[in-house]
Amino acid sequence: MARCVARELVEGSGIDAGRLVDLLVERAMAEVGNYYYYTLLRLHLVGVEGDALRRVIDDAREEDRNHYEVLVPRIFELGGSLPAVLGGSGGLAALQDLPAEADVPDILPVLLKSAEESVRAYTHLCALTSGKDHRTYNLVLAILHEEIAHQVWFLEFLGRGLAEPRSYHQRAISPFVTPFLQSPRVAGLKTPAYPA
Ligand SMILES: [Fe+2]
């Protein structure tokens, strides 16, 4: 492998860089898998309740795509790479074969479980990198904030029936992760402002 200064610095801080890259790749694959499954799910949601959940899923789907897009550059900065074939075993892909004809009461626990898994994974990554790999830490912390929001949206949806989750209305897409996005496609987004 060619010399990689970012990786050397991370290893010098006491982190197993190979293990860190593996975890970041795992999360990147889970994020893109979530995007894929959310896309399928939204097509099958029907009725008033399905419409309301679809709006929540659309935002979670956009944010998971953004999470994938910000993880990939860091993986390459650390000398890693992505698998040539999209397999992925984390996120929604890990949970079950999702029903083709989705039904809101059946889907919500699946979505909630996936959000909880993400919160656990990013909390672990924060603990692993805190005070050592500042760039990865800032990145995974920003993603963690948004994963917790997804968890809250699904919990609120479970508790409020047809009503849309309150916190869902209170913010734009990816307020924490947008400053890390490199794609020009996001230049027109209304959000930014990474909280100090
Ligand atoms: Fe995500």
**pLDDT tens string 58-74:** 999 999 999 999 999 99
What's the 92 CA to ligand 1 centre distance in angstroms?
A: 11
**pLDDT tens string 161-186:** 555 666 666 678 999 999 999 764 55
Place of tokens 């990786």: 7
Within a domain: 96 = yes
Count of structural domains within the chain = 1
Percent of the chain scoring above 90 in pLDDT: 52
Place of tokens 């100090």: 196
What's the 100 CA to ligand 1 centre distance in angstroms?
A: 22
C-alpha 100/C-alpha 38 separation (Å) is: 12
- Average pLDDT along the chain: 84
Residue from 158, 190, 156, 177 nearest 71 by CA: 177
CATH code for the domain of 134 = 1.20.1260.10
**pLDDT tens string 48-62:** 778 888 888 999 999
C-alpha 193/C-alpha 53 separation (Å) is: 27
What's the 148 CA to ligand 1 centre distance in angstroms?
A: 10
Is the model more confident about 45 or about 138? 138
Place of tokens 């963690």: 144
What's the 10 CA to ligand 1 centre distance in angstroms?
A: 24
Question: pTM for this one?
Answer: 0.84
Give the domain range for residue 113: 15-186
Within a domain: 4 = no
What's the 184 CA to ligand 1 centre distance in angstroms?
A: 20
What's the 165 CA to ligand 1 centre distance in angstroms?
A: 18
Local confidence band at 157 (pLDDT 50, 70, 90 cut-offs): confident
Instruction: Tell me whether residue 67 is exposed, middle or buried, using C-beta atoms within 10 angstroms of its C-beta: 0 to 12, 13 to 18, 19 or more.
Output: buried
